[in-house]
Each structure stands twice: as C-alpha cells, then as structure tokens.
C-alpha cells in the first residue's frame, strides 16, 4: 500500500498510481444515472438541473433512465402521498445495487407544508434508506447539485473490503424493503420499523 506522500511524489515525476478501489469508485461516482421520475413541484427544479443552464452533465449524471433496472440513483422529488408510497418503494426495490437515494425538498424529507395532511407520508425515509437530504421548498438547482457532489464524495469514500465496507458488497445488508399495503385507515405497516427509528428530540 502506497502512502499519500509517495503517491504525490510519484505523480510529480509523471507516474500515476491508483488502487482498484479508487478507480472503481471514481468510475461509479462520475456516472450516476438517476431514475427519471418526479412527484411534485421539486421535479421542475430537478428538470432545470438536467437542462443547459445548470447542466448536470458536468457531473456525469445527465442520463435520466426511464427504467429502474438501469438507474443508480433515485431522486425523490416532491410530496410522497400515501397512495404513491408503495409505488416509490417498489421502484426502489427494482433498482439494482449499488443504489442511492436523494430526498429532495421539505416534503420528501418530512412531509413539509403538507405534513399534517391525512394522505401525506411524513418523509420517505420511513420506508427506504436515504443517503442525502436536501432542505428547501423547493430547493434551488444549486442545492440539488450540492447534494449530487455530497453523494459523489460519499461514493468516493466507500470501502470495498474490511469491516466498514459498502452495503452493496455485503450479503447481509437488505437490498429490498417491504412494500406497504393499502389499509382501511392508513398504510400497513405505517413505517419500516427496522429502517426508521424516530429521532430523539433533545430540548434545552
């Protein structure tokens, strides 16, 4: 294993050294293909990001895929209603590993301004794991780009070996999550209790 000092010294002499892990993650993080689906007004900002003015193509992520089978990233852009939640979870389940989720906007992370609505899911992280949350109503395109770069950093840090290796390399980590069913009064179950634990509120 080369240390960073030697690596930098070699690169000054015109010798590029890398590891398999590094080049594998470099390739992955520069070709994140998002799933092309939007739920509400945040989707308009997501579309703006993909177009010429904000140009997500600079990050290698302009290829919005119409099929979950070809997508690496799900951008939950908008209010998730309880009627829509099973479909969102099913789409997530159909994506191949490694897969990532960005919860975009106030609605996707908590229910947002519609939180007390009878038909609004209070955050998509009740059913599927979320990698990056973006606040905003809706978030600026720059915020989504920032989320992308955060996700790229996260992918770049992922290990392929050892204790803390990436979830998609481990067979004991779940890759699919339970799809909620429509019930008489609410979704059943109302949340994935293994995946989502309500955060403890600490007040001074």
Closest Cα to residue 101, out of 111, 88, 86? Answer: 88
83 binds other proteins (CB under 8 A): yes
28 binds other proteins (CB under 8 A): no
Binding segment toward other proteins, per CB under 8 A, in 61-69, 144-152, 168-176, 184-192: 184-192
Between 23 and 137, name the residue whose CB sits nearer to other proteins.
137
199 binds other proteins (CB under 8 A): yes
CB of 194 to other proteins, least distance (A): 15
Identify residues 84-143 at the interface with other proteins (CB under 8 A).
Answer: 116, 118-119, 122
CB-based burial of residue 121 (10 Å sphere; 0-12 exposed, 13-18 middle, 19+ buried)?
buried
CB of 129 to other proteins, least distance (A): 16
Residue 42 CA to residue 135 CA, distance in Å, equals: 11
Between 14 and 198, name the residue whose CB sits nearer to other proteins.
198
Residue 155 CA to residue 40 CA, distance in Å, equals: 27
Between 159 and 182, name the residue whose CB sits nearer to other proteins.
182
Residue 47 CA to residue 191 CA, distance in Å, equals: 30
Between 175 and 192, name the residue whose CB sits nearer to other proteins.
192
Q: How many angstroms separate the Cα of 45 from the Cα of each of 23, 35, 87, 127, 192?
A: 32, 15, 22, 24, 29
Residue 29 CA to residue 184 CA, distance in Å, equals: 43
Footprint on this chain of other proteins (rule: CB under 8 A): 83, 116, 118-119, 122, 182-186, 190-191, 198-199, 201, 203
């Amino acid at each position: 294993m080369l240390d960073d000092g030697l690596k930098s010294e070699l690169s000054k002499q015109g010798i590029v050294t890398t590891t398999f892990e590094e080049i594998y993650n470099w390739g992955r993080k520069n070709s994140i293909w998002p799933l092309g689906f939007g739920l509400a007004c945040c989707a308009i900002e997501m579309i703006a990001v993909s177009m010429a003015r904000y140009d997500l193509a600079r990050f290698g992520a302009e290829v919005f895929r119409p099929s979950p089978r070809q997508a690496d990233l799900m951008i939950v852009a908008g209010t998730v209603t309880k009627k829509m939640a099973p479909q969102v979870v099913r789409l997530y389940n159909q994506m191949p590993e490694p897969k990532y989720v960005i919860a975009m906007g106030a609605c996707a992370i908590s229910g947002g301004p519609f939180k007390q609505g009878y038909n609004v899911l209070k955050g998509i992280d009740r059913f599927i794991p979320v990698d990056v949350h973006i606040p905003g109503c809706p978030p600026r395109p720059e915020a989504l780009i920032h989320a992308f770069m955060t996700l790229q950093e996260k992918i770049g840090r992922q290990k392929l070996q050892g204790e803390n290796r990436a979830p998609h390399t481990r067979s004991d980590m779940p890759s699919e999550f339970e799809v909620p069913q429509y019930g008489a009064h609410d979704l059943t179950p109302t949340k994935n209790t293994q995946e989502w634990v309500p955060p403890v509120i600490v007040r001074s």
